[in-house]
Structure 1
Amino acid sequence: MEGSVGASSNSSLLGLEYWLQWQVLVCALILILPTTMAVIFLLRNRSTNRLKPADLWATCWTSLHPRFLLFYRAFAFAAMAFLLFQTVAAFGFFVFFFYTQWTFALVMVYFALATLVSVWGCRTDSRTQSGETDKFLKKGSEDIMYETTTATENPVGGFTKQEVHHNQVAYQEQQVGSIENIMYIIYQICAGAVMLTDIVFWCLLLPFMTGESFQLTLLIGCMHSVNAVFLLIESALNRMPCPWLGLIYFLLWSCIYVVFQWVLHACCFTWWPYPFLELSTPWAPMWYLGLALAHVPCYGLYVLLVKAKHAALSRMFTRTFVRVSTEKKNS
């Protein structure tokens, strides 16, 4: 999504008169109003996430072991880390001025957290299966005593059958922890960010930027495609839904990037990484408003892809595809 690295635009420092222009104030309102509304909405809807822990590390295919998803997430993280290292080695840390590298690094962080969650999930799954096997063997050796125990008396382990069943249901319905919540939030941000990054680069920037100052290379092409490819494969394997609530996290992520750019320019950094972020033109409010509105179709496209996956595959593969029961509640 970036142009010529190291290029410059304005040679004069951005003084106070630059920030007092009318278009700057309008762009600030375009930035502040949605951010404020998003924060208020999130504060009022804290308990919308009803996912179970298994939804974050299990696959949506009954014949596919969670370890397969674990290996894929680890591979995606390693591949993206390698590409990011190659990019920094080629251009320096200056690349983090661009939204592309922000998004790329965020997707990499997602796969890192997802790998850790998958490790924990696979260990939990193996322990659960081992525990069920032990209970089956124990029941086979003590079936007479177990079957004759009443609902209020159970000498085996000190628990009644009702209590054991209640504990199993409570385990299955436990809520996700902090790391899992962070992972799921990042997943929703990445869903919109990769679409925005790749669509803007391939459809808007590249056709008008290719020239002497910018040449498309294999590394730059990978940076603007691998992120979406890895995330789409991830969505094809996991059970996680993509609710519209994630649009708010996506908007906040982009607002943080814009604020980052404004702070840099307030500190006399005069070069804008993207021409449409320039505030000195009278068309700046239209650009900022257009970019804000573009978040809706970009995130909506990913939501539709995930919904189409659940709707189509659950009908085509009724016995092997697992559809998350909370999908309708979260959407």
Structure 2
Amino acid sequence: MADTDEQGLGYWLRWQVPVCALIFLAPSAIALIFVSKVQTAPLASYDLWLPCWRRLSPVWLLIYRAAVFVFMSWILSQIVASHGAFSFYFYTQWTFTLVIIYFALGTIISAHGCWTYSKRPEYEEGDHLLKRDQEEYNKSATNRTNKIKGDIKLQSHQVQEETEQRAGFWGYLMQAIYQTCAGAVMLTDIVFWFILLPFLTSEQFRLNLLMGCMHTLNLVFLVLDTALNRLPFPWFRFAYFVFWSSIYITFQWVLHACGFTWWPYPFLELSTPWAPLWYFSLALIHIPCYGMYALIVKAKNAIFSRFFPSVYIKSN
């Protein structure tokens, strides 16, 4: 915590302030430019709610998402009941809330998808919901005649997918939140378990059950959802993770400009000459955090498609 006489205008005129601002604003600007120019393949609406396992009913994914949403909401309510609005002073609660929003959106979209699935005639369900399964099968088939027939059938369904089955705004929002959460939960848990917990004293920091759950279950629940869903994981959405962290840092700077004197994380303190190094390290750690989760998704596709080729559907 900075001394009282270090607050005010003099605090913000330190040389560390513009350097630290550049460190987190420059990546945000680059990410914004990158997102505005990137071209991606359309997201299919059924990828939002169908499992990546052929024989697993989408109802089970719906039940899982709904149960996680309820349980995580209960944990957050207990934290807020204990600490009030001050709970949202921390990046952990921000990220935990974002994961809850993801599971809330996932529950709604899964429910809508299951309802749509139940309304389709049996023959139409098979053609519509299993077209990618058939595509994977045709690619590995040895009979060229059957493959050609399968390709013709898939081609006839492609027009319907292009016109009717693209994900809308809420679908793309769900995917963006999913990938933002992927990097944010990794960052939250790594900083908590490997930086804050070992080095802060018991007077500064005290671990309890709720806090331990918040820094563990966020990742566990998201990885389990990844093991079940068939959402693609393009690298360019790393930019949204950068935006998320930049928004939080901006939030902290605004609060301190308004008179707050305590930083929730010591490495955000600007009065130390080491501040630029801390901010630069914090910026760099975003890359391996997002990369580790991307490797989880890649390992999922590689391992499951190898050991369960007949039942696993590879993500795009």
TM-score, reference length from structure 2: 0.87
Residue number in structure 1 paired with 2:158:
169
Q: Alpha-carbon deviation of 1:244? A: 1.3
Residues 2 and 271 of structure 2 are in contact (CA less than 8 Å); yes or no, is this contact kept in structure 1? Answer: no
> Counterpart of 1:62 in 2: which secondary structure?
coil
Distance 1:285 1:118, change over 3 A: same
Instruction: Name which of 257, 267, 284 aligns with 1:293.
Output: 284
Residue number in structure 2 paired with 1:65:
57
Distance 1:9 1:226, change over 3 A: farther
- Mapped to 2, the partners of 1:224 and 1:276 lie a distance apart of 19
Residues 194 and 228 of structure 1 are in contact (CA less than 8 Å); yes or no, is this contact kept in structure 2? Answer: yes
Q: Alpha-carbon deviation of 1:114? A: 0.5
In the TM superposition, what whole-angstrom CA distance separates every residue of 1:242-293 from its partner, at most 9, and x where no partner exists? 2211211101100000000001011111111100000111100000000000
- Mapped to 2, the partners of 1:179 and 1:18 lie a distance apart of 42
In the TM superposition, what whole-angstrom CA distance separates every residue of 1:212-267 from its partner, at most 9, and x where no partner exists? 34321111100111100100000000001222112111011000000000010111
Q: Alpha-carbon deviation of 1:210? A: 4.1
Residue number in structure 1 paired with 2:137:
none
Residue number in structure 2 paired with 1:262:
253
Q: Where does the alignment leave 5 or more consecutive residues of structure 1 unmatched?
A: 1-7, 136-163
- Mapped to 1, the partners of 2:11 and 2:168 lie a distance apart of 46
Check if 1:28 corresponds to 2:21: yes
- Mapped to 2, the partners of 1:42 and 1:216 lie a distance apart of 39
Residue number in structure 2 paired with 1:225:
216
> Counterpart of 1:34 in 2: which secondary structure?
helix
- Mapped to 2, the partners of 1:212 and 1:280 lie a distance apart of 22
Instruction: Name which of 60, 67, 77 aligns with 1:75.
Output: 67
Q: Structure 2 matches for 1:109-258, cutoff 5 A?
A: 109-130=101-122, 132=124, 168-173=157-162, 174-258=165-249
Q: Alpha-carbon deviation of 1:131? A: 6.5
RMSD, aligned α-carbons: 1.9
Q: Alpha-carbon deviation of 1:166? A: 8.0
- Mapped to 2, the partners of 1:209 and 1:187 lie a distance apart of 31
- Mapped to 2, the partners of 1:32 and 1:290 lie a distance apart of 14
Higher-Rg member (1/2): 1
Detail structure 1 runs of 4+ shifted over 4 Å in the superposition.
164-168
- Mapped to 1, the partners of 2:266 and 2:10 lie a distance apart of 20
Instruction: Name which of 310, 314, 327 aligns with 2:305.
Output: 314
> Counterpart of 1:41 in 2: which secondary structure?
helix
Matched length? 288
Distance 1:58 1:280, change over 3 A: same
222-231 vs 124-133, greater mean Cα deviation:
124-133
- Mapped to 2, the partners of 1:320 and 1:88 lie a distance apart of 42
- Mapped to 2, the partners of 1:292 and 1:92 lie a distance apart of 30
Residues 238 and 290 of structure 2 are in contact (CA less than 8 Å); yes or no, is this contact kept in structure 1? Answer: yes
Percent of aligned positions with the same letter in both sequences? 54
Letter in 2 for 1:100: T
Check if 1:44 corresponds to 2:33: no
224-233 vs 242-251, greater mean Cα deviation:
242-251
Q: Alpha-carbon deviation of 1:165? A: 9.1
- Mapped to 2, the partners of 1:238 and 1:80 lie a distance apart of 19
Q: Alpha-carbon deviation of 1:190? A: 0.2
Q: Where does the alignment leave 5 or more consecutive residues of structure 2 unmatched?
A: 128-152
Report which of the two has the higher share of helix.
Answer: 2
